[in-house]
Chains A and B, each alone.
Chain A
Amino acid sequence: MNELLRYVPVFAEGLWGTVRIAMVCLCASLPLGLIVGMGRYSRKWHWAGPARIYVEVFRNTPVLVLIMWFFFAFPTIAPFDVDAYTAATLALTLNSSAFFAEVFRAGIQSIGRGQWDAAKALGMSYRWQMQRVILPQAIKRMIPAITNRWIELFKLTSLASVIAYPDLIHTAKLIASAYFNPVQTFTIAALIYFAMIYPMVRMLYFIEAKLKRGD
């Protein structure tokens, strides 16, 4: 046990790597997903078409493949350096923004025509209709799905370790191979993931129950 305490700072560093990339990807993919989702919803094909392609490409490619592509293939065509952090962030952001786009689209579509009619009948422009009437209601309904995707994203960050991004699981790998104690190390890593994710799941249940009461 004592021996394991020595690793605490190392684990902490790995955990920070995981949390950091998860947060950055969440903050980037939410607005990106909203834009693509509104494009998906649009009746104009020059919005809807590209948005559709975006969603299909990034939703239907395994995240691991995206990560590898951005780390090994992308640097050969990109005019700038791509380190593990950049590659993993790009891959995870594109993937989860495609899922968020679908969440946003479904949320917007769930709002009945009557709300559009009422907003339109007041003389609101499309932007006002969306911003003042549709989105505030839609986003409330999307919160459970968004939380769900956020949990998924958090778990997927572990894949970044394959390109040596220093996250929790990569750190665990280093410790395990340095001290020959895979059982303890990976068990601890798994427990840390669980301890991070379980409260989020509880929060999701809480939000769902609260929204149910609200309706």
Chain B
Amino acid sequence: MEDAINIVKLHKSFGPLEVLKGIDLNVQRGETVVILGASGSGKSTLLRCINFLEIPTAGRIYLKGKLIGTPINGDPNASLLQYRDKELQAVRTAVGMVFQHFNLFPHMTALQNVMEGQVTVLGRKKAEAAERGRNLLAKVGLAEKADEYPARLSGGQQQRVAIARALAMDPDVMLFDEVTSALDPELVGEVLRVMRSLRDDGMTMVIVTHELGFAYHVADRVIFLNQGEIYEAGPPAEVLGRPQREKTIQFLNGHNQFRLP
């Protein structure tokens, strides 16, 4: 069975600033990969390249074995690819994303948020989209909040609506970009629990997070990014428990400085 995601020699620059310097990463179907790294290490950019919110500067991304983009001039070895809007829209529909700041549509209720993409992008009937929306809201524990506007929901609730909104598109892969970083500490757990249940359902997930405990317990694999390169990778018990390289050790020590006794 082919992988869910293959990333080959991915580069991304913003002007003179090279953020990703040749990332190679394969994600199997049903796998949960957690990406760690200091700020500026390129982890969010990597995530945003997978659904082409950022267009890679060079390199290739395959989803379910299919190359995204077309080599210019039909030369299969051309390093530059061109991306058509329609193709990228289809990719983004198949790859769900959840953001640090939720980015719910404030002028729509929770249910309308979850219905929006289903109706406009997938062309589902309103009744069907509403039913699916209610099921998903129930799944993230917010059945009774369907008719509330985002402003009336807590951060944790908003983030769970955002997860439901992404799931409504029936994605093959889910991307999580620091989804608990903007939450009050007591609300982090409810979001992480939803994510864990997704893993248990077999969802393929790539997660950028600072929640090391979550990475340790939920990830199949942990990737440590440093200055736009994969610096250390492996099962969480190894990378988090017995890190081998200097920067990883430093990073983990930084996180562990103020542990409870």
Contacts and interface: CB of A to CB of B under 8 A. Distances in A.
Interface of A: 114-115, 117-126, 128, 132-133, 136-137, 140
A118 B103 contact: yes
A128 B117 CA distance: 10
6 smallest A-B Cβ distances: which pairs?
A123-B93, A122-B117, A118-B103, A114-B103, A121-B97, A123-B92
29 contacts: A117-B53, A117-B97, A118-B103, A118-B104, A118-B162, A120-B92, A121-B92, A121-B95, A121-B96, A121-B97, A121-B99, A122-B92, A122-B117, A122-B120, A122-B121, A123-B91, A123-B93, A123-B169, A124-B120, A124-B121, A125-B85, A125-B89, A126-B85, A132-B120, A133-B116, A137-B105, A137-B106, A137-B107, A140-B107
A122 B89 CA distance: 8
A133 B150 CA distance: 14
Contacts of A117: 53, 97, 99, 103
A contacts with B: majority SS: helix
A114 B101 contact: yes
Q: Of A114, A118, A136, which is in contact with the most chain B CB atoms at under 10 Å from its CB?
A: A118
A125 B120 CA distance: 9
B166 interface: yes
A128 B97 CA distance: 18
B248 interface: no
Given A117-B53, A128-B120, A122 B93 contact: yes
A163 B105 CA distance: 49
A120 B162 CA distance: 14
A49 B96 CA distance: 36
Contacts of A115: 103, 105
Nearest to B89: A123
A122 B85 contact: no
Contact of A132 (B93, B116, B166): B116
Contacts of A114: 99, 101, 103
Interface in B54-101: 85, 89-97, 99, 101
B89 A121 contact: no
Contact of A120 (B53, B101, B165): B53
Nearest to A123: B93
Contacts of A120: 53, 92
Contact of B117 (A123, A126, A136): A123
Interface of B: 51, 53, 85, 89-97, 99, 101, 103-107, 116-117, 120-121, 162, 165-166, 169
Contacts of B106: 137
A94 B96 CA distance: 44
Given A121-B95, A121-B166, A123-B90, 9 more contacts: A120-B53, A121-B96, A122-B165, A123-B117, A126-B85, A132-B116, A133-B116, A137-B106, A140-B107
Given A114-B99, A117-B53, A118-B99, A124 B105 contact: no
A126 B121 CA distance: 12
A133 B105 contact: yes
A132 B117 CA distance: 10
A140 B106 CA distance: 12
A128 B94 CA distance: 17
Contacts of B107: 136-137, 140
Nearest to B121: A123
Contacts of B105: 115, 118-119, 133, 137
A11 to B, nearest CB: 43
Nearest to B118: A122
B164 to A, nearest CB: 12
A123 B118 CA distance: 10
A128 B121 CA distance: 9
Contacts of A125: 85, 89
Nearest to A127: B120
Chain A CB within 10 Å, residue with most, of B93, B105, B166, B169: B105
B61 to A, nearest CB: 16
Contacts of B51: 121
Nearest to A121: B97
Contacts of B90: 123
A124 B103 contact: no
Nearest to A114: B103
Contacts of A136: 107
